[in-house]
Amino acid sequence: MATRSAIGIKHGDRIKSIYCHYDGYLEHLGTALLTHYQDSIKVNKLISMGDMSSIGADIGEPHDFGTRSEYLPDGVAVQCTFYNRDRGDENVGFRSFANEEEFVEYYEGSGCNFYYLYDHGVWYYSNTEDFKPLHEAVNVQEPA
């Protein structure tokens, strides 16, 4: 069973976001985002790749969608698996929303349990509509 989630980045008043199918819970995806996606350039590149099956420590290279990934000691795959790049699906690019409420409402319809939002260098999470700093919920310290 998948723990579905959505990952977004705030640009001014708008949010660009993608869907992530597997392992969206705080201890996995939340930790991976705090550990491997602290740079806004890398976060923007992640979002630009569109919806994903699973997160990896790096965006990575095109690979067969069904290939089993290698994993780092922290339990995160070496590279991400995307629906467009790695499986050839269409219409799975990022989406844009006017605010957090629209962002959450849209992905609730996809069965998402967790929502992650990168805003001015800080990751936030929600499993409702109230976003809280992610570093307070997982055992990873954000860089100063």
- The whole domain housing 93 covers 5-136
Mean pLDDT, range 45-50, rounded to an integer: 97
Q: Domain count for the chain, please give it.
A: 1
Tell me, what's the pLDDT at 65?
Answer: 93
Summarised one tens digit per residue, pLDDT across range 16-40 is 999 999 999 999 999 999 999 999 9
pTM given for the model: 0.93
Q: Is residue 119 in some structural domain?
A: yes
Summarised one tens digit per residue, pLDDT across range 83-127 is 999 999 998 899 999 999 999 999 998 899 999 999 999 999 999
Q: Is residue 144 in some structural domain?
A: no
Does 131 have pLDDT greater than 50?
Answer: yes
Q: Is residue 95 in some structural domain?
A: yes
Taking residue 120's Cβ as centre, other Cβ atoms within 10 Å add up to 6
Residue type, 62: P
Q: Is residue 142 in some structural domain?
A: no
